[in-house]
Amino acid sequence: MKTVLEISVIKYDEEKECIIKALDELQNFCKITGGYELSNPTSRFGWTFFKIWLRPNLLFCINEKFADMIKKSKGYKSEEKFSRFISDFFESRGCNVKLKLVEA
């Protein structure tokens, strides 16, 4: 099963590049390839929306390697903490995105 993140951005081309760099950094850290997939974007009201599917091997590695940071993230449920961690990770890499975990 894949974990799905819904991403909302204003500047799609810039932010997509930033997100890919951040995800590639996570993949390199985990020593895996093909750990995620991006959907085609749709635009409405000045925002562009798309989804990121995280494959189980990348998700497992992120949860394992960053367990302490995820645990300290805001939220009550583990899904909320993971979503906040990923959002903060993207932000720390200069990505200006809104993120929501829609399926896990």
> Which residue type does 64 have?
E
Structural domains in the chain, CATH included, are 3-103 (3.30.70)
Question: What is the model's pTM?
Answer: 0.87
**φ, ψ for residue 54, nearest 5 deg:** -95, 125
Predicted confidence (pLDDT) per residue in 12-70, tens digit = 999 999 999 999 999 999 999 999 999 999 999 999 999 999 999 999 999 999 998 99
H or E element that contains 50: strand 47-54
Euclidean distance between CA atoms 67 and 48, whole angstroms: 31
Cβ–Cβ < 8 Å for 29, 44 = no
Euclidean distance between CA atoms 88 and 83, whole angstroms: 9
